[in-house]
Structure 1
Amino acid sequence: MPAVRRNRRLQNIVRTSLSNPVAVAAIPDPYPSDGPGLNYIVTRDLVADVAAYELGLQTAEKLFDALLGMCVTHPINEFTVPFPKPLPKHPKAFKSRGRPTVGAEANCTRSICCRDFDDSPAAESEVLECHWGWEVTTDLKAFDVQMAAKLTALIFPSLGNHDSAPVNAFARTTSNTANNSQLVFDTQSAGWDHWIGAPAAFEVDHHSGAYSAKVPGMDLRIIAVNTQYWYKQNYWLYDSDVLQPDPNGIIALVVDALQAAEDAGDRAWIIGHIPLGKEDTLIDQSNYYDQVLQCYKNTIAGRFFGHSHKDPFEVAYSNYSEQTAANAVGVGLIGPALTPTTNISEPSFQVRSQWGLYYSARETYGPLVGLSPNEPLSPAFRQNLTEVFAANKTAFQMFNTFISRGGAVTACDAPSGCQNTTICDMRAFRSQDNCVS
């Protein structure tokens, strides 16, 4: 089909789907973390803006992929991240469920219950935790004070895709809309000030939720990235055909912060929500971030993400064609969610839980690769682990249990292809290299 005709067909399909509530409700969510009900709600809220997009072929294909999971592939748009100097010689996903409906079903088939889903009414004999709760506008302030009094560690937060309304929607500075996320940045800037300091809080407000902050008393800088500008499900990324390699200047801020850390002889930790190797990260921006990682691999000491609600990791390589321990240059550690998905004692969070150490990577995994007591848990260590997981079924199944903390363990083995795909994804800190189809 000629490109022009194909482009028009894609636009017509997208617009027809978005303007038809029945069609929207029927759209399968390729990343169903929020359930089909929220998929409909979010899409409906963005209908007017998205349906008005004037899309070229590549942008239309990307949007089509984001909406329907069609796995449309295209070459990476070549872009070289500018660096100020030549190449030099690790807690996530606490979710408070808003807008609960008193009396709604708490034990439903969706990942978010206690909502007014007409097809899931609460029965008298069902789980009715949704009747419990408190008035947010009054009790929450006192609750926050109590929680803050228990905090003794330093806190460096980062934004996630659920921090905007509608969910995932972070408009670019070039987007023609009043539905931007500045309220999010204003609110978090004020709320985080006492944790990250005034200069970093100013950056949150003026750099789309990203910031860098020096850790007091340490030669360490925390760099928080708003990864939602690289997220497939952020439909504002498709409102223009103009190529924007660095939406809202997030990569530029990271480069500046890393260069400042390097000049000062500091190390850096990168924190963000969405891991750069996941299938729902845009391959262009993931590739550009990898350029930053390669340039500052000796300055970046840690990379910490969330989003998956599980406990895997992703290895970065200097040469992805030769994925060896010698070429492993970085690891993205992906923290599981604080919000549980099993053994829930309350509608939104655990209040009677007993916390304890689940496992130690060094003590549990170290013997599998012959790690000595003084060796670091380096990128090479993680690469060697993937090789053990590929050869040792028992070791892999232990990992498969650990990543969900033993709750709702999903069967994953070699005959189904799941084991190979999982290991492949461990070896992909660039989304272009993951194996999820």
Structure 2
Amino acid sequence: MLSGRSTCSWPYRCWFLIDFIYYTGDLPPHNVWNQSREQQLYSLKTINELLGKTFPNKTFYSAVGNHEAAPCNLFPTPNVRSDNISWLYEVLADNWIKLGLPEDTRETIERGGFYTTVIRPGLRLISLNMNYCSWENFWLFINSTDPLDQLQWMIQWLQYAEDHEEKVHIIGHVPPKQCLASFSWNFNKIVNRYENIITGQFYAHTHNDEFVINYDEIDQQRPISMAYITPSLTTFSNLNPGYRVYRIDGNYPGSSYWVLDHRTVIMNLTATNIYNRTIFIDEYDARDAYDMENLFPNDWHNLIERLKNNIDGPLMGLVYQYYTKSYANGNQCDHSCRRGLLCDFITSRSEDPHACDSIPN
């Protein structure tokens, strides 16, 4: 995910217009159990060095993916001393600091793969290690609520940001809607409390192009926050590679730092194979594609209402096409598929039995 200006045709020749980069994890390949620590560290070192060379003088703000561990998904909790994961966090700290993070982020990265820093005056970043909420992390059978005290730590920094009139972006790999319920519901309560300063959430993991609206826990028709689940660069599975450029409000005193628009760029695999060269295309700009005035939570809520009213119509088909990064078209998603997709877009808490009651059958 890149924060930049949309006045140039992407990708490579416009790198100098990028302000900063969010990289939300999963650098190693997805061969899952056929991985060793040595292979993981080689992948991390090689790719991070390549990123630094490709985008010189740009700061990367990274998060830990589930595929960084060896074995995949397994991140031991702090009380497990016989099989800790410090071998990974120490390397990540070194790599991320080389890519622009300040040295004062090292302590929490080495402790648990999370950190906070100021991107610019008025905008704070919180990077969470969402592997400590993922149902795929078997170590959480020991303690699934908040084993790293990450949520307590996040609350402290959100309060600091509120007291010092900062806005906050949150990045992580696994979206909160895919976390274990105890973590997911507590996370949603925190977003509710600090809705006035959390102006962007950015996740990955699903490989698809998605979004999730957080709603007020009391008035569940009032949208309060946006989580963008951005498309993956990997083709796994049955997808075109993609990435996203965000246009964010700022940089001026009192900026909201909300996402104002975003452009998704994909690599057309079919054309790339036919012509034997990499072919990137601008897939869509959100405001134009969905006829939205802005990208505030209420604008996304209004889009959901339009989709509910014509769930089998062409706009929902377009949403599905972009969901697959134009690998599939809307005709390949039937009514049940479309309803399920809409349900995902408004479910910010895992195992919420009533999140999708408003979607017509």
TM superposition score normalised by structure 1: 0.60
The number of equivalent residue pairs is: 292
2: distance between equivalents of 1:162 and 1:386?
Answer: 32
Confirm whether residue 182 of structure 1 aligns to residue 80 of structure 2.
no
Structure 1 residues 281-338: Cα deviation after superposition (integer angstroms, max 9, x where no partner): 2011001111110111111110000001001111111137x542xx100111001111
- 8 Å CA contact 2:203–2:229 kept in 1: the answer is yes
| Structure ID, larger Rg | 1
Give the secondary-structure state (helix, strand or coil) at the position aligned to 2:169.
strand
Partner of 1:166 in structure 2? 71
Partner of 1:384 in structure 2? 302
Partner of 2:6 in structure 1? none
Q: How does 1:77-96 map to 2 (within 5 A)?
A: 91-96=23-28
1: distance between equivalents of 2:309 and 2:282?
Answer: 27
Partner of 2:284 in structure 1? 359
Confirm whether residue 412 of structure 1 aligns to residue 333 of structure 2.
yes
Partner of 2:124 in structure 1? 221
1: distance between equivalents of 2:43 and 2:90?
Answer: 23
Aligned partner letter, 1:425: D
Structure 1 residues 26-59: Cα deviation after superposition (integer angstroms, max 9, x where no partner): xxxxxxxxxxxxxxxxxxxxxxxxxxxxxxxxxx
Q: How does 1:301-312 map to 2 (within 5 A)?
A: 301-312=199-210
Partner of 1:236 in structure 2? 139
Give the secondary-structure state (helix, strand or coil) at the position aligned to 2:284.
coil
- 8 Å CA contact 1:93–1:338 kept in 2: the answer is no
- 8 Å CA contact 1:224–1:270 kept in 2: the answer is yes
Deviation at 1:389, TM superposition (A): 1.6
Partner of 1:14 in structure 2? none
Q: How does 1:28-427 map to 2 (within 5 A)?
A: 91-97=23-29, 112=31, 145=49, 147-152=51-56, 153-175=58-80, 177-194=81-98, 195-206=100-111, 208-216=112-120, 218-238=121-141, 240=142, 245-278=145-178, 281-319=179-217, 323-324=220-221, 327-341=222-236, 342=239, 352-367=277-292, 371=293, 376-392=294-310, 393-408=313-328, 411-414=332-335, 417-427=336-346
2: distance between equivalents of 1:231 and 1:164?
Answer: 13
Deviation at 1:144, TM superposition (A): 5.9
2: distance between equivalents of 1:140 and 1:315?
Answer: 32
2: distance between equivalents of 1:234 and 1:275?
Answer: 14
Deviation at 1:94, TM superposition (A): 4.8
CA 1:362–1:378: 2 relative to 1, 3 Å: same
1: distance between equivalents of 2:46 and 2:337?
Answer: 46
Deviation at 1:413, TM superposition (A): 2.1
CA 1:191–1:316: 2 relative to 1, 3 Å: same
Give the secondary-structure state (helix, strand or coil) at the position aligned to 2:339.
helix
Deviation at 1:422, TM superposition (A): 1.4
Deviation at 1:245, TM superposition (A): 2.7
Deviation at 1:91, TM superposition (A): 4.7
- 8 Å CA contact 2:41–2:91 kept in 1: the answer is no
Deviation at 1:203, TM superposition (A): 1.7
Aligned partner letter, 1:197: P
2: distance between equivalents of 1:382 and 1:400?
Answer: 16
- 8 Å CA contact 2:223–2:301 kept in 1: the answer is yes
Structure 1 residues 87-127: Cα deviation after superposition (integer angstroms, max 9, x where no partner): xxx75455432xxxxxxxxxxxxx759x79xxxxxxxxxxx
Give the secondary-structure state (helix, strand or coil) at the position aligned to 2:59.
coil
**Divergent runs of 4+, >3 A:** 90-96, 135-147, 341-346, 349-352
Q: Structure 1 vs Structure 2: percent identity of aligned residues? A: 25
CA 1:168–1:221: 2 relative to 1, 3 Å: same
TM superposition score normalised by structure 2: 0.72
Partner of 2:246 in structure 1? none
Partner of 1:15 in structure 2? none
Deviation at 1:379, TM superposition (A): 0.7
Deviation at 1:382, TM superposition (A): 0.9
Give the secondary-structure state (helix, strand or coil) at the position aligned to 2:155.
helix
Which structure features the higher share of strand residues?
2
2: distance between equivalents of 1:379 and 1:265?
Answer: 21
* Aligned Cα root-mean-square deviation (Å): 3.2
